[in-house]
Amino acid sequence: MGIQERKERERERRRQQIMVAAKRVFSVKGFSKATMEDIAKEAELSPGTLYLYFKNKDELYASLSLRILQYLLIRLEHVNAEPDLTPDQMIESLKETMYDVYEFDPLILVNMFHLQSSEALKNLTPELLSEIRDLSQNSLNTMAKIFEKGINNGAFVEKNPLVFSDIVWALFSGIVLWEESKRIFNQESNSLKETLETAFEIFAQGIKKMERR
Amino acid sequence: MGIQERKERERERRRQQIMVAAKRVFSVKGFSKATMEDIAKEAELSPGTLYLYFKNKDELYASLSLRILQYLLIRLEHVNAEPDLTPDQMIESLKETMYDVYEFDPLILVNMFHLQSSEALKNLTPELLSEIRDLSQNSLNTMAKIFEKGINNGAFVEKNPLVFSDIVWALFSGIVLWEESKRIFNQESNSLKETLETAFEIFAQGIKKMERR
Amino acid sequence: MGIQERKERERERRRQQIMVAAKRVFSVKGFSKATMEDIAKEAELSPGTLYLYFKNKDELYASLSLRILQYLLIRLEHVNAEPDLTPDQMIESLKETMYDVYEFDPLILVNMFHLQSSEALKNLTPELLSEIRDLSQNSLNTMAKIFEKGINNGAFVEKNPLVFSDIVWALFSGIVLWEESKRIFNQESNSLKETLETAFEIFAQGIKKMERR
Amino acid sequence: MGIQERKERERERRRQQIMVAAKRVFSVKGFSKATMEDIAKEAELSPGTLYLYFKNKDELYASLSLRILQYLLIRLEHVNAEPDLTPDQMIESLKETMYDVYEFDPLILVNMFHLQSSEALKNLTPELLSEIRDLSQNSLNTMAKIFEKGINNGAFVEKNPLVFSDIVWALFSGIVLWEESKRIFNQESNSLKETLETAFEIFAQGIKKMERR
DNA sequence: TATGAATGAGCATTCATTCAT
DNA sequence: CATGAATGAATGCTCATTCAT
């Protein structure tokens, strides 16, 4: 391993260290209320150091979203790679993927919609921006491929697979946000798992072609 | 009309004027990047005036959410009041309600999740907070009642009506957020209407009890 | 009584009403933290009305000091007018005057030193400013005359009567301020009356020419 | 000298630099009219820097009072430590202490009564608050001890030493305030030194037990 | 005269970012 | 590379004062 490579590795370790700290802080305080100093303290580094690894606060934030999108894509490709899934198995597999994404990073997902603000996008490097775009595009496409199979083999009603993907992702995001918001407003709430379970079950029923004789 | 009443009306008009301006500004900039001065300018008032009608920035923001929740509740109660809906009609009716809510205030809804931050809740008057709580509770309950009917007359599979309500609301929120975020990332996107249409259709299929002979 | 005069009287009544309210509010909150709206509410008037009777906040404040200075002068002239006081009676009389001044307006006196700020003086009309100057000058002179008598009839040690006056007034102001500040810091404090009593007793002893044999 | 210690020393220097600037600005403008930016400019620092060393404006202000109280206490303990003072020497010593306190910080003393506002106390850290309390308590007690000696050895009339202390402090504060206020109102004024001289002389005469043969 | 809604300058405080060490 | 003190622009909010009614 060359010295160059070792350095690169070391640098990556630091980045991760910062991102882990940032995730924790953003989760608790939200994007705006979290300060760079909070994050620096959590990472046991000084504020200045953060700027050696991330151009600015927005970029640090966006990098977190990148990470979860990467994880999502890997999981979806895994589902897609598996041959011979029955429709029910496929939906089940998607459900588990979503649930794992949630476990991987429950609160960042909630906050990921911070990126919606076109103001927030202004401070991102074009590279990071397009990386995020590509990743989410790829995730959607992979999901669409999964549904395409189902349609092709006659298991699913004929619909645009891309719309199916949208609905799955929206369903998932919506449920996470919704549960979270109910928790905060202290309203009785079914567990995320239960709601997710039911939602996907309903979804599965809905897209299965009912056999008629 | 008494002088008292006239004043009250005038005051309400001003509040609306401010809220309309605030909605526009928050929509474009998001909560944190929008300044009170931005909003004042948009409303063609001075910053100080805003504080005559809203205790602080958070409260102004929350008032916007209140408005849409009020509209939602009214629409849902309307659906619930209609007798003799077939399952399909009911789902159709819900879909239209959601779509109208979106038209009523497309972007605030996207941002409504700002309220999730428990930090944001700190600056709200308890009255406003409980009003928001009650409204969303009532909306959920009304939606649940609608599903209860469907379950009772055997049209729907037996499931907790409250979970159904959650899913509808989450589905809706999720789709709006998702479409919005795709628009911002410049990804090709199906129209909101189309996605909503399909999603509710799938949902309807999923919860209907299939008659077999 | 002419209509002109009646109006003048009415105007004076309003002024007094405002000053009474102002005194109460300034006493509780201090000059800076008291707002014109606070005072208006206390006077059951609107903020705008205050400005019909007082040019600005500083002037309203200064008018209060004027009132107590007027009261002080009247009392001192009374003491001076009394013939044939023994040294002890004279000091006693001064002590009571000071105590009554305190009772007349305990907290404004404490705050009267707000006027020391040369910034505060900038907003006063020259008339009001010179009125305050004259009144305090007169009070001092009257006090000095009282001491002059004591010196002339051999009862007091020979010293500049004006310095005596200064000391009396400073002693009094200091004690009031000091007691007040100890009260706020929750330190055990002798009652104002007791401290005043002792202080004047000491003062009397100090300036009396002790004749023996 | 360790690096830790050097930093601490540097930090203390900055604090002093800010306090010196603050003293100047508060003296001229008074607490409310002085802005943090004024002080920053005077200290040739930026506004933000002030907050690295003082929690807020109130705390910066209170720290000034602390300093003078510390100086007072040291001087008083010095007086108390000296053995074999005659009554006259003791009073002389107190007078000089007071005069030096005035020289040390003439105008802050005038403003020290800003702390009387219970509103002002709200923003202070409990630590600072209790430090101020303890210091003034100790100063009073030390002064009381000084008088106790005088009473014990029969030189002073028998009176509560604490009341004596109160009077001395009040006398001093009162004179400073009074001189200052006369200066502002452009009234002819005896010099502080002369008034102080006379006042203490009178005080000394008043508390001395007159020897009779 | 009296009102009180509206004003807008003013200010304390925060915090992302920089840079000398 | 790492630091963390310093920066200073930015912003929410206040309140003395005005003025149309």
CATH code, domain carrying C34: 1.10.10.60
Average per-residue pLDDT for chain B = 87
- Give yes or no for residue C13 having a pLDDT over 50: yes
Backbone angles phi, psi at A68, to 5 degrees: -75, -30
pLDDT digit string (tens) for B99-109? Answer: 999 888 877 66
Give a yes or no: residue D18 inside a domain. Answer: yes
User: What whole-number distance in Å separates Cα of residue A96 and Cα of residue A104?
Assistant: 12
Q: If 0-12 CB within 10 Å is exposed, 13-18 middle and 19+ buried, where does residue A84 land?
A: exposed
- Whether residue D119 and residue C181 make contact (CB cut-off 8 A), yes or no, is no
CA B79 to chain centre: 16
Question: Residue with CA nearest F6 C1'?
Answer: D49
**DSSP structural state of residue B86:** -
Other C-beta atoms closer than 10 Å to the C-beta of B109 total 22
Tokens 């040739």, residue? D44
Average pLDDT of the residues in B192-207: 90
Last residue of a domain, one of C10, C32, C54: C54
DSSP string, D157-191: -S--HHHHHHHHHHHHHHHHHHHHHHHHTT-----
- The pLDDT of residue A202 is 92
Work out the angle at residue D173's Cα, subtended by the Cα atoms of residues D170 and D177, and round it to the nearest 5 degrees: 135
What 3-state class would DSSP assign to D156?
strand
Please answer whether residues D156 and D136 qualify as being in contact, where contact means their C-beta atoms are separated by less than 8 angstroms: no
Tokens of D68: 């003078």
C85 in the same domain as C19: no
Question: CB of residue A56 closer than 7 A to nucleic acid strand E?
Answer: yes
Phi, psi of D156 (to 5 degrees): -110, 155
Q: How many CB atoms lie within 10 A of CB A60?
A: 22
Binning pLDDT at 50, 70 and 90, where does residue A183 land?
A: confident
Model confidence band, residue B5 (pLDDT cutoffs 50, 70, 90): confident
**Nearest residue on chain D to C170, judged by CA atoms?**
D174
Q: Residue B133: inside a domain, yes or no?
A: yes
Asked if residue D111 belongs to a domain, the reply is yes
Condensed to tens digits (0 to 9), the pLDDT of residues D2-40 reads: 777 888 899 999 999 999 999 999 988 888 899 999 999
| Nearest C-alpha neighbor of D169 from the set B82, C175, A52 | C175
pLDDT exceeds 80 at position C118:
no
Q: In this predicted model, what pLDDT tens digit does every residue of A162-182 receive, in sequence order? A: 899 999 988 998 888 888 777
pLDDT in tens, C164-212: 999 999 999 999 888 888 877 767 777 888 899 999 999 999 999 876 4
The DSSP secondary structure of C135-178, one letter per residue, reads: HHHHHHHHHHHHHHHHHHTTSB-S--HHHHHHHHHHHHHHHHHH
Would residue A212 count as lying in a domain? no
Chain C nearest-CA distance from D79, in A, is 22
- Output the furthest CA–CA distance in chain D (Å, rounded): 70
In 3-state terms, what secondary structure has residue C208? strand
Residues forming a β-bridge with B35: none
| Statement to judge: residues A88 and A174 lie in one domain | yes
* Chains C and D in direct contact, meaning 3 or more beta-carbon pairs closer than 8 angstroms: yes
Residue C44 falls in which region: left (phi positive, over 0), alpha (psi -120 to 50) or beta: left
**Tokens encoding B156:** 């729907």
Task: Give pLDDT, residue B110.
Answer: 62
CB D206 within 8 A of CB C205: yes
Angle among Cα D87, D92, D94 to the nearest 5 degrees reads 100
In this prediction, residue A179 carries a pLDDT of 82
Interface C:A, ≥3 CB–CB pairs < 8 Å: no
Q: What is the DSSP letter of A65?
A: H
Asked if D113's CB is within 8 angstroms of C181's CB, the reply is: yes
Task: List alpha helices for chain A, DSSP H.
Answer: 3-33, 36-42, 47-53, 57-81, 87-104, 106-111, 118-121, 126-152, 161-184, 192-207
C130: tokens are 């010179």
Domain count, chain C: 2
What is the model's pLDDT at position D79? 94
Q: Which chains does C contact via 3+ CB–CB distances below 8 A?
A: D
Q: Is residue C124 part of a domain?
A: yes
pLDDT score for B176: 85
Give contacts of B160 with chain A, Cβ < 8 Å: 190, 198
Ramachandran region, residue C82 (left: φ > 0; alpha: ψ -120 to 50; beta: rest): beta
B208 — phi, psi (to 5°)?
A: -75, 140
**From C136, C174, C212, residue closest to D212, measured CB to CB:** C212
- Give the lowest-confidence range in C46-55, C118-127, D141-150: C118-127
Percent of the residues in chain C that have a pLDDT greater than 70, as a whole number: 96
**Helix, strand counts (H, E) of chain B:** 10, 0
Give the contacts of A199 (CB within 8 A, at least 6 positions apart).
Answer: A171, A175, B167, B170, B171
Query: Distances in Å between the alpha carbon of C153 and those of C86, C157, C208, D138?
Result: 10, 10, 11, 44
**Same domain for D79 and D50:** no
Orientation angle between helical segments D3-33 and D57-81, nearest 10 degrees: 110
Instruction: Compare A103 and C3 and report the one with higher pLDDT.
Output: A103
- What are the angstrom distances between the C-alpha of C74 and each of C55, C78, C79, C89, C144? 27, 6, 9, 18, 15
- If you average pLDDT over each of A126-130, C47-51, D62-66, D81-85, which comes out highest? C47-51
Residues D200, D148 within the same domain: yes
Within a domain: A81: yes
Mean pLDDT, chain C, integer? 89
C213 within a domain of the structure (yes/no): no
Q: Are residues C64 and C48 in the same domain?
A: no
Q: What residues contact residue A166 under an 8 Å CB cut-off, 6+ apart? A: A140, B175, B178, B179, B189, B190, B195
Same domain, D35 and D75: no
Q: What is the distance between the alpha carbons of residues D133 and C181, in angstroms, rounded to a whole number?
A: 11
Q: What is the pLDDT of residue D213?
A: 39
Q: Residues C132-139: what's their mean pLDDT?
A: 91
The closest of D139, D171, D155 to D210, measured between CA atoms, is D155
Chain B neighbours, 3+ Cβ pairs < 8 A:
A
* Chain B positions in Cβ-Cβ contact with residue A126 (cut-off 8 Å): none
Nearest chain B Cα distance for residue A4, angstroms: 35
In this structure, are D110 and D28 located in the same domain? no
Residue B83 has pLDDT above 70, yes or no: yes
The answer to whether residues A203 and A163 belong to one domain is yes
**Residue D179 is encoded by which pair of tokens?**
């001189």
Confidence of residue B36 (pLDDT cuts 50, 70, 90): very high
CATH of the domain at A123: 1.10.357.10
| pLDDT exceeds cutoff 60 at B212 | no
Distance CA A110, CA A169 (A): 13
Query: Which residues of B fall within a CB distance of 8 Å from A117?
Result: 29-30, 33
Cα gap C61→C23, rounded to integer Å: 8
Which residues of chain A are within 8 Å of residue B178 when distances are taken between CB atoms?
A: 166, 169-170, 173
For residue B20, pLDDT beyond 50: yes
Strand E reaches within 7 A of the C11 CB: yes
| Residues A39, A100 within the same domain | no
Do B79 and B150 belong to one domain? Answer: yes
Model pLDDT for residues A139-165, shown as the tens digit of each residue: 999 999 999 999 998 889 998 998 999
Compute the nearest-CA separation of A188 from chain B (Å): 10
Decide if D203 and C198 are in contact by the 8 Å CB cutoff.
Answer: no
Establish if D193 belongs to a structural domain. Answer: yes
Rounded to 5°, the CA angle B190-B191-B192 comes to 115
B95 shares its domain with B160: yes
Could you tell me if A49 and A87 lie in one domain? Answer: no
Cα–Cα distance between A133 and A138 in angstroms, integer?
9
Please give the residue range of the domain that contains residue D28: 1-54
Taking 60 as the threshold, does the pLDDT of residue B92 lie above it? yes
CA distance D57 to chain C (A): 14
